[in-house]
Amino acid sequence: MKIFFNMSNLLEYIKCQRFIVKSELDYHWSNMNLNISQSDFLDKTLGCIFDSLEKIAESIEEKK
């Protein structure tokens, strides 16, 4: 199955995925048995990944 996005929807899709991933992590956080430094590292890493994806999507949209 191929999914095609127009560029204006790409940023919204990425923001939605960020919300889904963060929600799932929050839900399962207690089952992961992570210490505070591990959970903080994971949270910051995911934040950086999604921030980068959003910047890429914005850049693509600007060039369009």
The pLDDT tens digits for 36-53 are 777 788 889 999 999 999
| Global pTM value | 0.73
| Segment among 2-6, 7-11, 18-22, 49-53 with least mean pLDDT | 2-6
**Structural domain count, the chain:** 1
pLDDT value, residue 30: 72
Residue 19 lies in a domain: yes
Residue 36 lies in a domain: yes
pLDDT in tens, 51-60: 999 999 889 8
Number of helices (H), then strands (E), in the chain: 2, 0
The rounded mean pLDDT for the chain is 82
Task: Label residue 1 by pLDDT band (50, 70, 90).
Answer: very low
Residue 1 lies in a domain: no
User: Which residues span the domain enclosing 55?
Assistant: 7-63
Residue 43 lies in a domain: yes
- Cβ-contact 11, 54 below 8 angstroms: yes
